Homo-oligomer: A and B are copies of this chain.
Amino acid sequence: MEKKNIRIKDIAQLAGVSSGTVDRVLHNRGKVSEEALQKVLQTLKEIDYKPNLIARTLGTKKNFRIAVIIPDPSLDEYWAHSELGVRQAITDWHQYDVQIKTYFFDLYHKHSFEQVTHSVFHAKPDGVVIAPIFYHEALPFLQQCQANKIPFTVFNTNIPEVAPLSFIGQNLYESGRVAAELMCLGNLTEGIFAILHINEDSVNSIHLLDKQKGFEEYVQEKKLPDVKIKVLNIKDTEDPKDTKGIHELLLDDTLAGVYVTTSKGVSFIAELLYQKKQKAPRLIGYDLLPENIKYLEAGTISFLINQNAKHQTFLGVQQLVNYLFLKKEPPQNNLLPLEIITKENLSSYLRSAVPHF
């Protein structure tokens, strides 16, 4: 019963070679005679060898440098959360020889993204974690990484063409469906449902369309003849020209619900509704930003769908480091659950920390 674990030494003994040779075979580092190779492969086939990852890590002195590329957190609450995930990872790994360096780019200027990726590439890190917001600019960079065998994990938005080590994110279409479902709850089945894309950095808009599509299709499937869906794009909430549509919308008595597809936008609407103190439409938004929490607790926002920026980022780094450090292959796709946050379950979410690994 007390099966001792099989060690490289054991394999060496069984195969009649030295442990060095076994190691060379295991990592096909070459410099192994055909004969020795066969002997080792043979014994490997016969037994179930699982390397001791802990010992491996200790044996490898290599000090990794990994680069995390995200939007500047000081410009955006959502990305501020994301950065917390990096922070977490940094402190987690600090004591080992893993240096995690964060590179910020300006969410609103693709040029700054290009600059950042250039300097990252120049720094030749051992791995990259990236939120590839700007598709067209990210693509060549990631291809470069690929060519140079720099592994990378991608989160927030995927770029499947470059086959990242892993992708962490959510299914946005389903996210839209969930929002629609929550909107329809309790026979809220007539009037206007508004979909608001607020303060979208234009690059993001493609993804917001996925949410919109999910929302629309759900409503369509429900066959609600008395529901009208209205879509509004608001570039800048500071610009009266842009917000005029919103004010009109909110005055409409038949407005039954508002779905804001961006995390930062919903508190703007909540604020307006809160001020006007009118019969409030149901309001659904994203993420546990401080402002959003405030209005969720006040009851102005009915639901928040949690995109869990912190967790996404943390997982991205985690999986990359595990891969580099422990040679542990992560799952290729990590679609996180679409968490529904209400006034009553909010605190249970705020309490529970990001899982530590």
Query: With A57-B54, A97-B5 as given contacts, are A339 and B342 in contact (CB-CB < 8 Å)?
Result: no
User: What are the residues of chain B within 8 A of A181 when measuring CB–CB?
Assistant: 342-344
Name the CB-closest residue of B to A91: B50
B95–A50 CB distance below 8 A: yes
SS class of chain A's interface: helix, strand, loop or mixed? loop
CA distance A102 to B269 in the complex (A): 53
Name the CB-closest residue of B to A5: B95
B344–A218 CB distance below 8 A: yes
Please tell me which stretch of A159-167, A200-208, A348-356 contacts chain B, meaning at least 4 of its Cβ atoms lie within 8 angstroms of it.
Answer: A348-356
Total copies of the chain: 2
For the complex, is A135 an interface residue (Cβ under 8 Å from B)? no
- Tell me which of B50, B55, B331, B335 contacts A58 (CB under 8 A): B55
Query: With A174-B347, A186-B186, A336-B348 as given contacts, are A54 and B50 in contact (CB-CB < 8 Å)?
Result: no
A170–B57 CB distance below 8 A: no
B352–A334 CB distance below 8 A: yes
Contact size range, A: 35 or more
A345–B340 CB distance below 8 A: yes
B357–A335 CB distance below 8 A: no
For the complex, is A188 an interface residue (Cβ under 8 Å from B)? yes
User: What are the residues of chain B within 8 A of A337 when measuring CB–CB?
Assistant: 339, 345, 348-349, 351-352
For the complex, is A178 an interface residue (Cβ under 8 Å from B)? yes
For the complex, is A52 an interface residue (Cβ under 8 Å from B)? yes
B335–A352 CB distance below 8 A: yes
B355–A335 CB distance below 8 A: no
User: What are the residues of chain B within 8 A of A50 when measuring CB–CB?
Assistant: 94-95
User: What are the residues of chain B within 8 A of A94 when measuring CB–CB?
Assistant: 50
For the complex, is A268 an interface residue (Cβ under 8 Å from B)? no
User: What are the residues of chain B within 8 A of A96 when measuring CB–CB?
Assistant: 5, 52, 54
- Tell me which of B58, B178, B344, B349 contacts A342 (CB under 8 A): B178
CB distance from A215 to the nearest CB of B (A): 11
A170–B348 CB distance below 8 A: yes
Name the CB-closest residue of B to A349: B337
B178–A344 CB distance below 8 A: yes
Instruction: Given contact pairs A334-B352, A337-B351, enumerate 13 new A-B contacts (beta carbons under 8 Å).
Output: A50-B94, A54-B57, A54-B58, A54-B96, A174-B345, A185-B185, A185-B186, A186-B186, A186-B188, A335-B348, A337-B349, A338-B348, A339-B339
- Write 19 A-B pairs (CB below 8 A) sorted by A numbering: A5-B96, A50-B94, A54-B54, A54-B57, A54-B58, A171-B348, A174-B345, A177-B344, A178-B344, A178-B345, A186-B188, A331-B353, A335-B348, A336-B352, A337-B339, A337-B345, A337-B352, A338-B348, A339-B345
